[in-house]
Structure 1
Amino acid sequence: MDSPVDLTSLEARHFGAVMDALLSSCDLPTMLGNLRDALPRLVAADCVALCVSRPGSAADYEWMVSGGPAKLLNEYAALASDDFVRPAVLQAPGTVLRDSEMLPSGTVKETAMFRRSQQLALQLHRVQAVVLTQQRDWHAGLTLYRNRDTAFSDRDRDLQQMMTPLIAKAVINCRHFETQALGTALLDELMLRQDGAYLVVDSHLREKLRTPRAQAILERWFKPNDLDASGLPTKLVERLRFLDRTVSPPPGTDVLQDSPPGGPFTARFSRLPSRDGSRLWALTLYSPLDKLPFPHELEKGLTLREREVLMLVLENLEYKEIAERLGITLLTARTHIKRAFKKLSVDTRDDLLFQIAKRLRPV
């Protein structure tokens, strides 16, 4: 339908309620929950079903429903081959179809879907449906049901058709919000990991994010005179600039390995998507010394607690932070570290790193 519908005063009130529902939440089930009361009043239906699916197996269909159809749609994977609605609306995405436009008149009651609905004590006599949107990797459709054997009218179809692009946009926005929320939750989880060392910078070397773990590792690897004007280590800046100006960097150049005085390290460069035209880079930093166990000959004679405090020393934690991490007093932490250093014949953290690196990388 190309022109808007002239609404009666009652329909205008119901239209306003539908719009309120579409704007009520970025959570798709919540939005549908608000829509399920408003939309049937506008179109004179009894219940609503929203389907979000991936093209392919019927098992990939996620149904969000209000009212009785839930019983039937819970069995959809087994009944999909007998579904007369889906193939019809897929042939005309964005166009509202009534059951009389999907099947010859009077044959709905002969379908397996209708018979199963009757066995489940449902009264789903009439259907009106539309494919709302077909995105690259997911589709969405909306179906209205009537419990009485009264056909949807031209007016009912026109009203749902008027709402279709608005509902489609709301569904797309909810899905985008869901994707972004999942991405944010994943990033939050990564940032909270004890071993999460990440930097995010743009192509102008402006930092967008630096995790505490990354700060500790960079302080271990690099001295102030190793940094350029941006505050980032010159070695990392040089590799970043090379990758940023190279259309197809040679394989392996997205990984930088080095052995500064603080111990061997690896930095991995990953280009991040950006919507505003700027180029963002994520740098993942890690040191093998944080992952590998002490060489066996150094472990001999160390208590479990002494080994624990030494591993935290290697993370460049201050004594106070080590004590807090292990739930011991600062004096106890100092005592364990002093005893461990004495057993290993080292005086400082750098001496410890040197001894470990020498055994892991014999020269």
Structure 2
Amino acid sequence: MNLSSHEFVLRDRVIAALNSTLSLPKALEAARAPLLELTPADYVGLCLITLGPIVDFQWLVPGHRLALLDEYSKWVESDFVRAPIFARPNVVLRDSEMLSRRELEQSALYQRSKELDLSLEHVMAVLLPVLPGYFGAFTLYRDRRRPFTEQDAALLTSLTPHLLNAVRNCRELQTVSTGARLLEELYNRPGSAFLILTPPSREVFRSPRAATLLEQWFTPSDLHSSGVPNVLLERLEELLHRNEDARLGLNPWISLHGDAYRVVRFVELPEADGPRQWALMMNEIPVSIPLPEVMRIELTPRQVEIARGMLRNWSNQDIAAEFKLSEDTVKTHVRDIFARLKVDSRADFLYQAAHLNKPV
């Protein structure tokens, strides 16, 4: 994807806005203007979907009110966007890839938009698998006949990991918006393991469960003079000196020990006076991680087998021996799996799989 200098600036502004707060409505409002300049559209909406006996839909629409979405529950079964994006999570789809122009104009949603003087002519959307049974459907609308282009889709695709990260952070941390409330929220969760740090190494708070895990995971020789493990401070330092795209590839820190992965996820906290603090969220995950369904449907049968091997912590050599393949073939499959699932590394793959099975 080739970006102009202006597009780079706009993209950076969108990402900064998404990371500016742990209140999802505020993050969307802050991101709206640069996003709609980067990928021109008239409306933007995020539908938070909770699956269950009764499917719950909650729309967040920054900026101009979209009357059609106020009555979405009446038209949900006629929503031509829902089925295509659920079939291809994490993939940006334009309306031309969902249905024909004639089908769009004959749809109940389109007809209703005309009655409301909205005339939603074009749609571009992506499904964000946040947690098991919990999704975000991010959608851009145009009320004039100007189709979204491949470049528009590529730009939104480049932002998809950041949108997912923002929704996940806000969801996990209950949309609290200040450091004091965040500490209270985290502390009141049974068994919550977290550190609060002010870079480069000042510890602000350590939950009891975090203290237990750190004592189990590290020896005194592993610790910085501040009492925080050196390896975690080194990862924090690296995150501080990377841009937002690179940070996604470095988060979380994962280490295999015995029959469990030790996982530390780094979350930059907004709205603090002085240097922004970081929450280090800690957890242990069993080695045998099931392959989440939202990942499985993106892969071929052979890739599913190899993905499950990686989730068992098999090396490429182990996988090659198990399935009677060459190591080069396994490497090719692994690379294709990462591309299909939009993950950067084995560590990222393990974390995303664990996160979809059990939030960490």
- TM-score, normalised with respect to structure 1: 0.49
Which has the greater radius of gyration? 1
Tell me: higher relative CO, structure 1 or 2? Use CA pairs within 8 A at least 6 residues apart: 2
